[in-house]
């Protein structure tokens, strides 16, 4: 019984840790494209800042994956 609950917790950890960053990454990329279209001369700066922001958001997903692996290790 407890292994099933741990497996469910691992699945929820992955699912919930990917939903937020996925939405945030889509919004960030959309707004960055709008900003680059409005000010093409700032495209390099905007792109650099966007890549850093996307990497930080992706770290949240990796933390969820790490937690899921730790939970799976308990089964």
Model confidence pLDDT, tens digit, residues 44-63: 999 999 999 999 999 988 99
How far apart CA 42 and CA 15 sit, in angstroms, is 36
Residue 7: closest CA among 58, 64, 75:
75
Q: Which tokens is 54 given?
A: 């996307």
Q: What is the pTM of this model?
A: 0.75
Per-residue model confidence (pLDDT) at position 1: 64
Q: Residue 24 sits in which domain range?
A: 2-72
pLDDT at 43: 93
Count how many domains the chain has.
Answer: 1
CATH number for the domain harbouring residue 49: 1.20.20.10
């Amino acid at each position: 019984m407890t292994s099933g609950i741990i497996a469910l917790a691992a699945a929820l950890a992955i699912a919930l840790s990917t939903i937020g960053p996925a939405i945030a990454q889509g919004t960030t990329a959309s707004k960055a494209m709008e900003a680059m279209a409005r000010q093409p001369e700032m495209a390099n700066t905007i792109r650099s800042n966007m890549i850093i922001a996307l990497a930080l958001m992706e770290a949240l997903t990796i933390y969820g994956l790490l937690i899921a692996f730790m939970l799976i290790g308990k089964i």
